[in-house]
Amino acid sequence: MKIGIDKIGFYTPHLYVDMNKLAVSRNVEPEKFTIGIGQSKMAIPPISQDPVTLAANAALEILDNEDKEKIDFVIFGTESGIDNSKSAGVYVHRLLGLNPHARAVEVKQACYGATAGIQMAKGHIALNPDSKVLVLGSDIARYGLNTSGEATQGAGAVALLISAEPRIMELEENNVYLTDDIMDFWRPIYSDKAFVDGKFSNEQYILFFEKVWEQYKAKTDLSLKDFEAICFHLPYTKMGLKALRAVLDEAEEEDKERLLANFEISRKYNRNVGNIYTGSLYLSLLSLLEQKDDLQSGAKIGLFSYGSGAVGEFFTGILQPNYREHLHIAEHTQLFAARKEVTVAEYEEIFQETLPIDGSTLELDVTNDPATICLAGMKDNMRQYVNKED
Ligand code: HMG
């Protein structure tokens, strides 16, 4: 039985800041952000969007009534969750109107959470072939104004429907993974911003990739020529390029060219959104599948997941016949086209808006937020969500 990705949904907030303008305001050369970091636009979440609403909006576009009935497991990968006890998956389960006889949990290991969710989902489907699992990767990346990480912030979510006989990508076996207790990036419970040792995190990301790639080759006897493309977790898009370059010397010229050309396509969406942590790898996969129209079914795609702290995993998928028919290309083109630019000053103001933490009531105006599912306010320390279609 094949198990893999049957549908992929994506959502990013409707606001963005232009990286050229952010660079000017931070007194750095724009090319540092657009080439050195590899980012063009950074998604800005309004206060009416949080990781729950981003994930719910991403899932909303892909689920039909049959999916809603068959999903019996919601796995929410996030590292910017809204509650230290209740899982974000439970909120999404209700907002989407899923079958009550389902499990809903949250999984955390930095940007690796959704990958862990996918692997758990595979096991669940192997035991329950008729069921479907909704895996969510949703985050808001915050380092702070005027920090070196600022240019690598972002916001968005990816929703993956995992099932038997998937229509987009079969996920193969032979995964290789690695854990090492390091402090490259972390966020203590009392902080809403991440702490990071930037240079060390870059080195570790590449080292993890090299190690799992070596292990994968030893396990499978495969090499770069067997891959149509390799997608990476993209904290900023230059990071994936650095990791790819670290192994490219092993490849023949034509394989090198193909992998580099496909990498460019796989970073298009991420370049315009920023880091979405758990969803970043899958946003890159989506970018490749939706923006390259001549990928053949049967092609093998490599996927490198990295979550600081750190856990890395390399695994592979095979594109299924007619997979393009099951993508949501028009919706995503429209989502990007409808976004609105904010100035750096407006972004800074939005960044500093906070929700009450003293139990007081706040009602948010959601009329300016085009998202279907929004955070409408706070009451008695509880977030109040609204699905405008209900
Ligand atoms: P920085 O110190 O501001 O930048 O930090 P830099 O001085 O290293 O410059 C960045 C690049 O721009 C360099 O390229 C420069 O040469 C280039 P490189 O040498 O590295 O290839 N540059 C220029 N290029 C063209 N024209 C110019 C120009 N000027 C400079 N004029 C850093 C950058 C990424 C460290 C910082 O933004 C940061 O700390 N970000 C957050 C951490 C991060 O993203 N780490 C990535 C690996 S860890 C990871 O992926 C996990 C994560 O997603 C979290 C999780 O798992 O939950 C972060």
Q: Which of 111, 231, 326, 332 is catalytic?
A: 111
Residues with Cβ within 8 Å of residue 18, at least 6 apart in sequence: 40, 41, 341
How far is residue 80 from each of residues 120, 191, 220, 331, measured CA to CA in Å? 20, 11, 36, 26
Ligand 1 residue neighbourhood (C-beta within 6 Å): 29, 31-32, 35-37, 79, 110-111, 148-149, 151-152, 184-185, 196, 198-199, 201-202, 205, 233, 235-236, 238-239, 275, 277, 306-308
pLDDT of residue 266: 98
Q: Whose CA is nearest to atom 48 of ligand 1?
A: 201
State which ligand 1 atom lies nearest to the alpha carbon of 307. 56
Residue 105 pLDDT? 98
Residue 96 — very low, low, confident or very high, per pLDDT cuts 50/70/90?
A: very high
pLDDT tier, 246 (very low <50, low <70, confident <90, very high otherwise): very high
Confidence bin at 208 (pLDDT 50/70/90): very high
- 147 vs 280: CA distance, rounded Å: 21
As a whole number of angstroms, the distance between CA 338 and CA 96 comes to: 24
Q: What would the mean pLDDT of 151-158 be, rounded to a whole number?
A: 98
Report pLDDT for 206: 98
- Say whether 124 is catalytic: no
pLDDT for the residue 82: 97
What is the whole-number distance in angstroms between the Cα of residue 151 and the centre of ligand 1? 9
Q: Round the average pLDDT of the chain to a whole number and report it.
A: 98
- Rounded mean pLDDT of 33-57? 98
| Stretch 343-366: mean pLDDT | 97
Residue 164's H or E segment, with its range, is: strand 154-164
**144 alpha-carbon distance from chain centroid:** 20
57 CA → ligand 1 middle, Å? 30
d(CA 109, CA 169): 24
Q: What percentage of the chain has pLDDT greater than the value 70?
A: 100
DSSP 8-state assignment for residue 248: G
At position 211, the amino acid (one-letter code) is: K
Instruction: Say which of 93, 233, 326, 332 is annotated catalytic.
Output: 233
H-helix or E-strand spanning residue 93: helix 88-95
Q: Specify the pLDDT at position 126.
A: 98
Q: What confidence score (pLDDT) does residue 52 get?
A: 98
Q: What is the number of the ligand 1 atom nearest to the C-alpha of 33?
A: 12
The answer to whether 111 is a known catalytic residue is: yes
Q: In order of start, what are the domains of the chain with their CATH numbers?
A: 3-169+327-387 (3.40.47.10), 171-321 (3.40.47.10)
Can you give the pLDDT at residue 92? 98
The separation between CA 225 and the C-alpha centre of its own chain, rounded to angstroms, equals 27
The mean per-residue pLDDT over the stretch 29-54 comes to: 98
- Tell me the mean pLDDT in the region 284-313: 98
Mean pLDDT calculated for residue range 142-170: 98
Mean local confidence (pLDDT), 84-102: 98
Q: Look at ligand 1, atom 44, and give the residue with the nearest C-alpha.
A: 235
**pLDDT tens per residue, range 171-180:** 999 999 999 9
Q: How far apart are CA 283 and CA 234, in angstroms?
A: 9
Is 233 marked active-site? yes
Q: Could you tell me the two tokens for 105? A: 């949990």
Catalytic residue among 79, 228, 290, 313: 79
Q: Output the residue whose Cα is nearest ligand 1's atom 53.
A: 235
pLDDT band at 9 (very low <50, low <70, confident <90, very high): very high
Residue whose CB lies within 8 A of the most ligand 1 atoms, among 26, 148, 267, for a mutation test: 148
